[in-house]
Amino acid sequence: MLEGLIVKALSGYYYVKPFRDDRSISGEDQAVQCRARGIFKKRGISPLVGDHVKYSLTENGEGTVDEILPRSSQLIRPPVANVNLAVLLFSVKEPDLNLVLLDKFLVHIEHSGLDALICLTKQDLADENDTQVQEVKALYENIGYEVLITSSLEGIGVEQVKQRLAGEISVFAGQSGVGKSSLLNSLQPGLSLTTSEISMRLGRGRHTTRHVELIELDNGGFVADTPGFSQLDFLELGVEELSSCFREFVPYAADCKFRGCSHMHEPGCEVIRAKAEGRIAESRYVHYTEFFAEMKDKKRRY
């Protein structure tokens, strides 16, 4: 039985690229259009883009996905398996940098157990006297995140991003209009992905991607090109898990007076103390309290 990687899912078909003897994938090899066996539906599971699968060829030159091999990770949205790295793209201008949404993405990434790379895009639009970008970079690097400043137009940071993606299955995420397609086109010349112009009236871009697909880079990396998100919810995350998704809270939370401390109002809360003493950024704590309230409200309604 053959083995390969699902690189695209569309209209009930799965497009599988064969593994070579060294478990690598080559851009020279064509993907096989496959249907999934009915047994998957009976078991309530579906193959995902990023899955390593066993498949067999049929007489018409197509194939059948027979077995899904064990996954190292699985995302609900976007539905991708075996992702190692989440690349969060946020533009410095057009649309303006949205730290609330960035922190919300980071909560989901932490909950998923993935590594995160923050890309601050469109540096060419930044005012040379504006210190915000460097301040944001310093804030998140101090927490422990990797941050790169990029400009697809001027080629700033593109090579560093490409080196980071080598050999990984990555997912790009962020608001619409932040330059995901432009950066991908810069990473892999010849892709010619559709890019969207920014609507100044709405302050956001139109979604330009219609399905999940792995884009193959020439350094062994794959990028999941997915629809842009304008919002995220917390339905798959328990409120008691939220604080552990703020990685700088974790060492202080262990010393809180009360077990299960919400870090909202309890006496003897070391997270609140750390925030008051400047060891936790005010913006991060404010966003935590906003997310906590949002999750509590959703729990009441659902």
Lookup result for tokens 């659902």: 302
- Considering the domain architecture, whether residues 93 and 176 belong to the same structural domain is answered as yes
Cβ proximity of 16 and 34 under 8 Å: yes
On whether residue 7 sits in a domain, the answer given is yes
With vertex at residue 116, the alpha carbon angle to CA 112 and CA 122, rounded to the nearest 5 degrees, is 135
- Considering the domain architecture, whether residues 93 and 182 belong to the same structural domain is answered as yes
CATH code at 297?
A: 1.10.40.50
CATH code at 115?
A: 3.40.50.300
CA distance linking residue 159 with residue 249, whole number of Å = 33
268: phi then psi, degrees, rounded to nearest 5:
75, 20
Q: Which residues participate in the annotated binding site?
A: 121-124, 174-182, 256, 261, 263, 269
Read off the pTM.
0.85
On whether residue 234 sits in a domain, the answer given is no
pLDDT at 128: 78
Any residues with CB less than 8 A from the CB of 238 and at least 6 apart, and which? Answer: none
Blockwise average pLDDT, block size 10, the chain, 302 residues: 93 92 81 94 91 94 95 83 92 91 92 92 86 95 97 93 93 83 86 52 42 86 68 74 96 95 96 98 98 86 60
Q: What is the pLDDT of residues 100-135, one digit of tens each?
A: 999 999 998 898 889 999 999 999 988 877 899 999
Which of these three, 173, 191, 225, is where a domain ends? 225
Q: What range does the domain containing 265 cover?
A: 239-301
Q: Which residues participate in the annotated binding site for GTP?
A: 121-124, 174-182
Which of these three, 68, 102, 118, is where a domain ends? 68
With vertex at residue 163, the alpha carbon angle to CA 161 and CA 169, rounded to the nearest 5 degrees, is 85
- Considering the domain architecture, whether residues 263 and 217 belong to the same structural domain is answered as no
On whether residue 265 sits in a domain, the answer given is yes
- Considering the domain architecture, whether residues 143 and 63 belong to the same structural domain is answered as no
Total domains, the chain: 3
- Considering the domain architecture, whether residues 17 and 103 belong to the same structural domain is answered as no
Q: Which residues participate in the annotated binding site for Zn(2+)?
A: 256, 261, 263, 269
pLDDT at 198: 34
pLDDT at 197: 39
CATH code at 31?
A: 2.40.50.140
Which of these three, 175, 199, 225, is where a domain ends? 225
- Considering the domain architecture, whether residues 51 and 111 belong to the same structural domain is answered as no
- Considering the domain architecture, whether residues 121 and 97 belong to the same structural domain is answered as yes
CA distance linking residue 212 with residue 214, whole number of Å = 7
pLDDT at 225: 64
CA distance linking residue 158 with residue 46, whole number of Å = 35
CA distance linking residue 154 with residue 132, whole number of Å = 20
Q: Which tokens sit at 20?
A: 């070579």
On whether residue 76 sits in a domain, the answer given is no
- Considering the domain architecture, whether residues 214 and 252 belong to the same structural domain is answered as no
On whether residue 77 sits in a domain, the answer given is no
Q: Which tokens sit at 67?
A: 């077995």
- Considering the domain architecture, whether residues 99 and 212 belong to the same structural domain is answered as yes
CA distance linking residue 108 with residue 125, whole number of Å = 28
3-state secondary structure at position 181: helix
Q: What is the pLDDT of residues 5-53, one digit of tens each?
A: 999 998 899 999 999 888 888 777 899 999 999 999 889 899 999 999 9
pLDDT at 195: 53
On whether residue 75 sits in a domain, the answer given is no
pLDDT at 200: 37
- Considering the domain architecture, whether residues 199 and 96 belong to the same structural domain is answered as yes
- Considering the domain architecture, whether residues 206 and 293 belong to the same structural domain is answered as no
On whether residue 182 sits in a domain, the answer given is yes
- Considering the domain architecture, whether residues 97 and 216 belong to the same structural domain is answered as yes
CA distance linking residue 247 with residue 109, whole number of Å = 11
Single-letter amino acid, residue 44: G
pLDDT at 119: 96
Single-letter amino acid, residue 19: F
On whether residue 230 sits in a domain, the answer given is no
